[in-house]
Amino acid sequence: MRSVNHSHRPVPSWLAFALALSAPSIVGCGNTLYAIQANSAAGKLEQARELGAEQSAPYEYFYAKEHLQKAQTEAAEADYSDAADLAEASAEYADKAIRRAHEAASGVTR
């Protein structure tokens, strides 16, 4: 049976310094990801509005709109993970609203 060495090695100072420097950028990733997804969702939502999705695809349009607003609230509270998820859902439903608006404009029914 092997003996277990319980001695703990101290963390090298260069490693601790590198971790301290990278911590702000790791935290900033959530904010950046949210910002990218929120901008995408906002652009798609605007496109859906311009296509008349408020009338032709109201469920999808307002689902996307409410999720984007909730994403903004979560981001304001620095909950970037939830904010990014909500913004992603918003973009997905805005895409659906855009498709439905195009279908309505071309006379295609589901």
Whose structure tokens read 């589901």? Answer: 110
| Average confidence score pLDDT of the chain | 83
Is the pLDDT score of 88 beyond 50? yes
Give the DSSP letter of residue 57.
Answer: S
The DSSP code sequence of 19-55 is: HHHHHHHHHHHHHHHHHHHHHHHHHHHHHHHHTTHHH
pLDDT band per the 50, 70, 90 thresholds, residue 19: very low
What integer is the mean pLDDT of 88-102? 98
Domain ranges of the chain: 29-106
3-state secondary structure of 79: coil
Per-residue pLDDT tens for 49-85? Answer: 999 999 999 999 999 999 999 999 999 999 999 999 9
- pTM here? 0.71
Pairwise CA distance, residues 11 & 1, whole Å = 29
